[in-house]
Homo-oligomer: A and B are copies of this chain.
């Protein structure tokens, strides 16, 4: 059966959650949002596009930093309201802070927050100043 964009269940804001997972290690890199245009562009180009809720516009991941996400495979869930992408993360890090994954903070059973891993890049060197 052909994928039918009209059957995708975007929420009241026209968005759906999208997960990027490292296709080789299985590590979850980030969770972000797609509107219809972002999903269409991701499917057409096989490079991850999102919708930036803070900037209120289409966001081609890596457009500025060069750290694009090459989409190796893409999945939609049983409710047609969430996307999973297995990606190759160019540059090695998905998080704007420089960490490989945005989920670098573990909440331990004690309630302590523990930072995992190390920064892959220095955000000040990758992103332009004054943003």
Contact = CB atoms under 8 A, between A and B. Distances in A.
Contacts of A105: 75-78
A81 to B, nearest CB: 9
A73 interface: yes
Given A26-B26, A31-B77, 18 more contacts: A3-B113, A19-B28, A21-B26, A28-B28, A28-B84, A30-B77, A31-B31, A31-B82, A46-B109, A74-B107, A75-B103, A75-B105, A75-B106, A75-B107, A76-B107, A76-B113, A78-B96, A82-B102
How many copies the complex holds: the figure is 2
30 contacts: A1-B112, A1-B113, A2-B112, A3-B107, A3-B112, A3-B113, A17-B17, A17-B31, A19-B31, A21-B28, A26-B27, A28-B84, A31-B31, A31-B77, A43-B111, A46-B109, A73-B106, A74-B107, A75-B107, A75-B116, A76-B107, A76-B113, A77-B102, A78-B97, A78-B99, A78-B102, A78-B105, A79-B102, A82-B103, A84-B103
